[in-house]
Amino acid sequence: MSLLREPLLLLARSERVKKLVSTLPVSSGIVHGYVPGESNEEAVDATATLVEDGLTVTLDFLGEDTLDAAQADATVEAYLNLLGQLSARGLARKAEVSVKLSAIGQALPSIGHKTALENARTICRAARNAGTTVTLDMEDHTTTDATLAILAELRQDFPETGAVLQAYLHRTEEDCRALAHQGSRVRLCKGAYNEPESVAFQDKLDVDKSYVRCLKVLLRGSGYPMIATHDPRMVAIASSIAADAGRDKGTYEFQMLYGIRPEEQKRLAASGETVRVYLPYGQEWYGYLMRRLAERPQNLSFFVKSLVSKK
């Protein structure tokens, strides 16, 4: 699968391939199944549909690794507009936003931390005014400490700001212990980046074991765990741990990607579980999708399987 990395990265930069993917009937239908559109309006419409189905939502305006201050500012404005639309349509109580710090200036030379923090504060303030919250997405391991540092600063004024931790990193169980406190919202995912063996588990079984250990820490803690998984076995394990810990439904939530196992999302919600759909959108959808596949080509089989079964 590693042989696919360079070709996928080349395709990520191809406007010609993007045009083909987005216009051919079969492939455009597939893309629309995972990314509902490029505009705020399309994303808000998709959010309304999900909310009608009993689901909650977190929206990610796509873009990352920004090295242009103007582009970072444009991303902030997009989030402010999005939050305004969610509020205007009465959706803010059911929909929050997810923000990648690299999309709002974290990678800018010399001023990255300051810029990302100020921009994140602006988005958090707008989210609170709209009646919702922000979760800071986690990126590759080189940014983990910097992201957690900004999270700590944001939580001084916006304690509701959510964190994301990735179970395949060796450090994550300890990070879970540090964040499993009252009022702390923590999304636990397995991780999608291609990380070195020195910092991350490489074997799927080891990643799964780490995920379960982290689940135990979070669900037995006093924070609000957000369990990001499509794995039926992990959903069952999480439910069992929650029950053993005396957790009531609604004191934690499950999260799944837009377009992945939508019937299972509805089933869990109908059973009384809180289910949040991670909804990525924006003009950067093509590069986002191809980079995710390039960073961890095993994800390709995951997407192919999801095309065969939407359950």
**73, 74, 70, 93: which is closest to 83 by C-alpha?**
93
Phi/psi at 57 (nearest 5 deg)?
Answer: -140, 150
Catalytic residue status for 137: yes
Helix (H) or strand (E) holding 169: none
Catalytic member of 137, 155, 261, 276: 137
CA–CA separation, 148 and 269 (whole Å): 31
Q: What angle do CA 186, 192, 193 make, to 5 degrees?
A: 115
The alpha carbon torsion through 257, 260, 262, 264 (nearest 10 deg) reads -100
Between CA 226 and CA 274 the distance in angstroms is: 9
According to the 3-state scheme, what is the secondary structure of 268-284? Answer: HHHCCCCEEEEEEECCC
The answer to whether residue 291 is catalytic is no
Catalytic choice (155, 185, 187, 291): 187
Catalytic residues: 137, 187
